[in-house]
Amino acid sequence: DTGVSQDPRHKITKRGQNVTFRCDPISEHNRLYWYRQTLGQGPEFLTYFQNEAQLEKSRLLSDRFSAERPKGSFSTLEIQRTEQGDSAMYLCASSVLGTDNSPLHFGNGTRLTVT
Amino acid sequence: GNSVTQMEGPVTLSEEAFLTINCTYTATGYPSLFWYVQYPGEGLQLLLKATKADDKGSNKGFEATYRKETTSFHLEKGSVQVSDSAVYFCALPLSSGSARQLTFGSGTQLTVLP
């Protein structure tokens, strides 16, 4: 079990640029989640995949955000035309397909700074 | 949707002190309740959970009891260690129809001094 892996760990970008983050979940986990965490706050749900299907999206996920999981394994989160308000830690988590109580396994996150 | 209110921090304790971190929730029905912990430089990890009223979740010396009368899920540990220094998050599903969308409290920073 190598855990959930996220890349890059840190990303600094200028306002208006596009950024893409990658998440590799635990290999046998069917479910994959993206959360966003700002300083001093708990994580906020963004979106959820079961295999390759994106089943739930938060209202927080504006049109500038898009997430994919094309083969049901790794996932990417792209932010277009970044704004300073997008600065946050972006967390990926995965879990097994089972009951809704299956624990989420989080990665260490990608910290985005928009200047 | 459901929500959780967590005790504000930071909390600083001496080693072997007793710990309580308060968590109260507002929910429709009786959803599962969770405590997650985030150690410095690491991702969040599940500490313990309770799936129904009066259940007690426990792990690594930490305990929390699901109390529907007081809508609380306070985290306790009888004797903290320096290695318990971390941020602790209380969480529950956002709604009964979105059990996979967890909503988290704002977190409580715990520092344990030797």
* pLDDT tens digits, one per residue of B11-68: 999 999 999 999 999 998 888 899 999 998 888 999 999 988 999 999 999 999 999 9
Q: Is the pLDDT of residue B98 over 70?
A: no
Q: Is the pLDDT of residue B82 over 90?
A: yes
| Residue in A43, A103, A109 closest to B104 by CB | A43
Q: Which residues contact B96 (CB under 8 A, 6 or more apart)?
A: B28, B29, B31
The pLDDT tens digits for A50-94 are: 999 999 888 888 999 999 999 889 999 999 999 999 999 999 999
Element (H, E) at B47: strand B45-50
| Residue in A42, A106, A109 closest to B45 by CB | A106
CA dist A13 to A40, A80, B34, Å?
A: 22, 11, 35
Per-residue pLDDT at B99: 60
Determine the residue of chain B that is closest to A50 in CA distance.
B100
Q: Is the pLDDT of residue B114 over 90?
A: yes
**Looking at the complex, does the CB of residue B25 fall below 8 Å from at least one CB of chain A?**
no
CB A25 within 8 A of CB A32: yes
CB contact under 8 A, A105 and B45: yes
